Structure 1
């Protein structure tokens, strides 16, 4: 085991991160929407999935690797896109991008995180995926997509599950809605976390780096909020998607799919894959957990699309559960951010090493030689 054994689980990293991060930053990372019902449903219902070991058989060498879009990764797990990562822990996206390259896992950069496309591509040697919030202005959209292509990103991920921002009580209380504000309470929280404050001084105030070239200069926070609301629209339809599919020459993935309707639209509109997701329980508290639609969509669409999943996964056994339910690949967002919040620059490597160890143990225990065989171990 090449990770810090004082923190052997995502929950132990979460607890450490909570002690190191200002409360407003931790609550932005940790919270869902409304009453957090779907946030908890994601993990609870995933963990109802049971796997069957098959012991009395000849078992060859265990292989945890998995091929996705022409690249073989060390395990079927990647880093999901997360907005405002540098607010939660300074330099977080760069920490995770570097670790993803070292561990041979995919890293997805969000449009609204705090490192730009070009830097993420440099740190991952051109392997970073890019997740696009659809811009209203077609010239901005075309330029962002061009930049992602020029940077060598192999996959463009189009987000479909934010037609409106989720109602997030913690963020509203903390002033982290758009436009954000820094209250006296938040300032006192920062003063109580000197390491976070010093790292923020080192790396600078987090900003939307990818979007910065399109922003007018000298905007205050209120003007920034109005600009973001004007510039990006989460509402998608066939008319908005078609020019993106026409321009983008790489693999195109639709993220936020939670229904047969949207999966069918993805097929008709020429997507290569979908990520079954409910935005980590941050958008629709009355929605399903991700494991429920995953099982249905994998059964009906795996011959037409690459079916991936995020939201609610917290461990190596969770990855195995999702793969057994038919996923081609999985992603985690919060889990990696807990690692960085807890351990800073070491957090990405620690979390990836730990999850690899956990996943390998499950494969060994099931006597399952290949990732592709995990569905055979699903208890129906």
Structure 2
């Protein structure tokens, strides 16, 4: 399969599946428990119909948005995700360069495989740093100070991961960092030698955000141990309020779902929230961000920037979320499969397809700017 024959999310997913060893493909593709929430994330958009207006004299299309003080050329951004150099040796470098080319925001994860400083050098566009709350408060402050020094625009604290989700696909293959594969997993690597050659020909796999703080070498610290031993499950609103004050800038909570929590985020001075169920990878059976969006926007949308992610595969999905009041929409697997399939060229093709779909959709909706997308344009079945 060739990149030019990829026309949508499913094409990129197929191409990634051809290239990646099974355990790595399943790490991206999989979710928690029965993967019900993962499937519902995309299905939720299907219960909502667009109602277009015609003859509106749409000439130019302005799809730019401003979110958390950042001007984006399109209303989608690349959500921070972990371990990207496992999927393709370019990793976060590819995503940073592609996001810069499309004038949008991207994020580097605490579990990123390229340093946030290097990503900052690649892209002059808005960059978020996604991090987790550690038991060691000094480490939290050190990470924020480092981000400030690197010129990061937005801090994004993930709040739905105080314990890891039950990802059974990873258990079946023994997927862990460092690799501790079982025989089934090793066999799946053996049948994809090109991935292994590529992986070993490039620089050593690292987690630059954590390597001064966590010994990941010699099998001492796996990602699951990082979650169970380093992160603080007793994290509270008071703890986060302190961090918001310490950062003193754009601060966003990712993984908020309830109206009550959205209101608390406003009270402690956050400037943004991302409605998210972590791509269905944490609490299976949890509500989808799209289904929860209107309720949260109605409660706090005039006081804080509300974003969402989860299951977004089409430009029309983005238009539906924007019509409900989301300020911008996060992409995850949508750019990870193209990254795995073809590196930077893959991410750029995926973002180009998304840009074209949003533009075409806006023309067909009779809207020349994002502000013109309202709930008048939607009907729920």
Mapped to 1, the partners of 2:253 and 2:219 lie a distance apart of: 31
Aligned to 1:374: 373
What whole-Å deviation, never above 9, does each CA across 1:27-80 have from its counterpart, x for those lacking one? Answer: 000011100100001100122221111113333422112122333212100001
What whole-Å deviation, never above 9, does each CA across 1:12-40 have from its counterpart, x for those lacking one? Answer: 10011111000000000001110010000
Q: Is 2:246 aligned against 1:250?
A: no
Aligned to 1:320: 319
Mapped to 1, the partners of 2:102 and 2:62 lie a distance apart of: 15
Mapped to 1, the partners of 2:231 and 2:325 lie a distance apart of: 33
Mapped to 2, the partners of 1:235 and 1:293 lie a distance apart of: 25
Mapped to 2, the partners of 1:234 and 1:161 lie a distance apart of: 10
Mapped to 2, the partners of 1:167 and 1:58 lie a distance apart of: 51
Could you say what the CA RMSD is over the residues aligned between the two structures, in angstroms?
A: 1.9
Kindly report which structure 2 residues correspond to 1:24-173, keeping only aligned pairs within 5 A, or say none. Answer: 24-125=23-124, 127-173=126-172
Residue 9 of structure 1: how far off its partner (Å): 0.3
Q: Is 2:218 aligned against 1:220?
A: yes
Residue 215 of structure 1: how far off its partner (Å): 2.6
Q: Is 2:287 aligned against 1:304?
A: no
Mapped to 2, the partners of 1:329 and 1:170 lie a distance apart of: 31
Mapped to 1, the partners of 2:220 and 2:213 lie a distance apart of: 17
What whole-Å deviation, never above 9, does each CA across 1:235-288 have from its counterpart, x for those lacking one? Answer: 431231122112102200010011112111101111001000000011111111
Mapped to 1, the partners of 2:32 and 2:238 lie a distance apart of: 30
Q: Is 2:195 aligned against 1:202?
A: no
Residue 220 of structure 1: how far off its partner (Å): 1.9
Aligned to 1:272: 271
Kindly report which structure 2 residues correspond to 1:274-353, keeping only aligned pairs within 5 A, or say none. Answer: 274-353=273-352
Q: Which SS does the other structure have where 2:50 is aligned?
A: coil
Mapped to 2, the partners of 1:93 and 1:212 lie a distance apart of: 17
Deviates more, 1:90-99 or 1:358-367: 90-99
Distance 1:178 1:6, change over 3 A: closer
Q: Is 2:358 aligned against 1:364?
A: no
Mapped to 1, the partners of 2:109 and 2:351 lie a distance apart of: 19
Aligned to 1:193: 192
Mapped to 1, the partners of 2:127 and 2:188 lie a distance apart of: 34
